[in-house]
Amino acid sequence: MALLQISEPGLSTAPHQHRLAVGIDLGTTNSLVATVRNSLSVVLPDEHGRSMLPSVVRYLADGSVIVGDAAQSAQSEDPVNTILSVKRFMGRGLADVGDISRLPYRFVDASSCLPTGRQCSTEAASAKHGMVQLRTVAGVKSPVEVSAEILKVLRVRAEASLGGELTGAVITVPAYFDDAQRQATKDAAKLAGINVLRLLNEPTAAAIAYGLDNASEGVYAVYDLGGGTFDISILRLSRGIFEVLAANGDSALGGDDFDQRIHCWLLEKNQLSALNPKDTRLLLTLARAAKEQLTEHNEAHITAVLSNGAVIDNMLTEAEFHTLSQNLIQRTMQPLKRALRDAKLSVDDVKGVVMVGGATRMPQVQQAVGRFFNQTPLTNLDPDKVVALGAAIQANLLAGNRTGDDWLLLDVIPLSLGLETMGGLSEKVIPRNSTIPTARAQEFTTYKDGQTAMSLHVVQGERELVSDCRSLAKFELRGIPPMVAGAARIRVTFQVDADGLLTVAARELTSGVEAAIVVKPSYGLSDAEITRMLQDSTQFAQDDMQARARREQETEARQLMDAVQHAMAQDSDLLDQAQRADIEIQLQNLQDALSSADQQMIKRAIMALNEATVSFAQSRMDKSVKRALAGMNISDLETK
């Protein structure tokens, strides 16, 4: 039975006028995808009605990949091949990860290969640019590849829910992500087949959702404590303008660290030292559960039996947990002070504090933030969903869809960008908290007589020494006319796009020679590596196409069943006993076909149900026409 979407004359949207765009919150603990429907942003659930996708990926020996809840349930059973909190490794080298002994993974340092200093394997040697790798039964995987698996699931979910291919997505990143981490996120999206409309800072996305939902104006602070990162942003909301005044934070602080404190407490209480990966993951899982229980209860009972037979049986009270986590909370206070100082504001200037991220549910966090700002934090929007909702609003706008709200977003770059000068010093060209997109230029000169080339080293960070900043890229300007030292004039221009990604160009003004580089950070992936990964994924293209076709078939079947059942409930009087029995049989056949997940069986069942309802649809149409013409005569119709 054909289904028609009926709208008032002139109010329907032509299909070509609405582009399918989504906002994606690629989180440390959970990830979400949202879109705008009927002018409202909504989170898209999976086929089981679950909106949050655990950011967990499990690799199997046969090369298959499991993502989400099923992978999460295997985290203690297969800890080495089940990757959690991969966001903390994005754009990071082994030295950035910190104490790897507390993690159950087998790390590969791409810059020096294996941490033990042994000979590099072929797989490890192919990992360029210094980003840490993870060795699994399916081979060495980069955080970019792991994140891409999560993004693929979200893309498929969105396309199934929206019924078409996505125009693009806005993907959120922590405000304090540096250029390397942002580029790694964009690489992951490319690998997942997603066109990135923009990378958007998570606190800014939350402010968009909160501001538009509450028609707020004034200065607001967004306190974002997620699973692996912490950000604080100060924004001014005024007549549809969202202006980020300052951003600060810690990209290595989040809810995982609170779990780790409980984990260490358990080790100390039970006099345990080194644990195998399985027991480590088990205790970390129990620690997270205890943390979540203490959000609403005064105590949490932690019990477990380790692989060596040792029994864990401890009671963690709310007061003890507050003591364990106190210095972690204090670590978030310094970025708050710095952000206010950079924005040239005081605590009294802040009208409200928006809480974002699952870790902000902890009472001690809310209490500390309330004391700092002298006001109760705002929690009327779900802290787990608000970032995705805001990203969806931005995506809808960037896709070119008409919206009833006119607003402008002015975001900032979180970390200064500059060049290395003589003596290993960092000369800042674009200072932190500059509004993006932006472009700044600065002139430099030669150091020696007759110098005909210049090496440019692009760095990011707030420290004065290059050794304390993050190296982003190096390139050379050649062909400088030989002059005495200091005579040449080299203009270096930095351009930062709306994603916070950088392009650098250098030009010698007298001769006109120039060089430029699109910065691919040291810990990003090269275009060749992205190409290789895309080629590797083509071997599964056929399987992906079949899975997509099956999902589309299932969606069509469910829509048809709902429509037929609704029609039967409304106009059952139009059916005789034989017709009703035939339709009910075909409905059951279609339900059975859906349970079998056999695409061809589903297709045949759809056709059979359509055939069984043809006469019913005609009868309903006749009934509607008769109702519309009731009480009219020919002259009435002629005047219409």
Question: pLDDT tens digits, residue range 201-256?
Answer: 888 898 888 876 666 788 999 999 988 889 899 988 876 778 888 888 887 889 99
pLDDT at position 363, please? Answer: 93
Q: Is 224 a catalytic residue?
A: yes
- Catalytic one of 46, 78, 87, 291: 87
Pick the catalytic residue: 25, 257, 420, 582? 25
Residue 247 CA to residue 244 CA, distance in Å, equals: 8
* 622 tagged catalytic: no
Q: Is the pLDDT assigned to residue 375 strictly greater than 50?
A: yes
Q: Average pLDDT over the chain, rounded to whole? A: 82
In this prediction, residue 538 carries a pLDDT of 53
Q: Which of 187, 224, 256, 257 is catalytic?
A: 224
292: helix, coil or strand?
A: helix
Q: Is the pLDDT of residue 9 over 60?
A: no
188-202, 360-374, 508-522: least confidently modelled range: 508-522
Instruction: Look at residue 415 in the predicted model and tell me its pLDDT.
Output: 79
- The pLDDT, as a whole number, for residue 533 is 53
Per-residue model confidence (pLDDT) at position 117: 33
Whether residue 107 is predicted with pLDDT greater than 90 in this model: the reply is no
Residue of 149, 187, 202, 582 marked active site: 202
pLDDT, tens digit (0-9, with 9 covering 90-100), for 612-637: 888 888 888 887 777 766 666 666 55
Q: What is the pLDDT of residue 321?
A: 94
Phi, psi of 235 (to 5 degrees): -125, 150
Mean pLDDT on 85-101: 79
Q: Which residue has the higher pLDDT, 59 or 563?
A: 59
Asked whether residue 111 carries a pLDDT value surpassing 70, the answer given is no
Of residues 549 and 554, the one with the higher pLDDT is 554
Q: What is the 3-state secondary structure (H, E, C) of 222-258?
A: EEEECCCCEEEEEEEEECCEEEEEEEEEECCCCHHHH
Reply yes or no on whether 87 is catalytic. Answer: yes
The answer to whether residue 611 scores a pLDDT higher than 70 is yes
User: Of 11-20, 357-366, 610-619, which gets the smallest average pLDDT?
Assistant: 11-20
Q: What is the predicted pLDDT for the residue at 50?
A: 92
Cα–Cα distance for residue pair 79/631, rounded to 1 Å: 74
Range 47-62 average pLDDT = 92
Of 378-382, 437-441, 530-534, the one with minimum mean pLDDT is 530-534
142-159 pLDDT tens trace: 999 999 999 999 999 999
pLDDT of residue 534: 53
pLDDT above 60 for 324? yes
Query: What pLDDT band is residue 498 in, cutting at 50, 70 and 90?
Result: confident
**Any idea what DSSP says for residue 500?**
S
Catalytic status, residue 202: yes
Task: Calculate the CA dihedral of residues 141, 146, 149, 150 and round it to 10 degrees.
Answer: 170
**Given the DSSP bridges, would you call strands 168-173 and 21-25 parallel, antiparallel or unpaired?**
parallel
What pLDDT does 439 receive? Answer: 87
Query: What residues contact residue 369 under an 8 Å CB cut-off, 6+ apart?
Result: 223, 353, 355, 360, 377
Q: Which of 292-306, 453-467, 509-523, 583-597 has the highest mean pLDDT?
A: 292-306
Q: Does the pLDDT value for residue 403 go beyond 70?
A: no
Cβ pair 383, 360 in contact under 8 A: yes
User: From residue 155, how far is each of 160, 417, 624 by CA, in Å?
Assistant: 9, 33, 40
What pLDDT is stored for residue 576 in this prediction? 85
- Rounded CA separation 609/614 (Å): 9
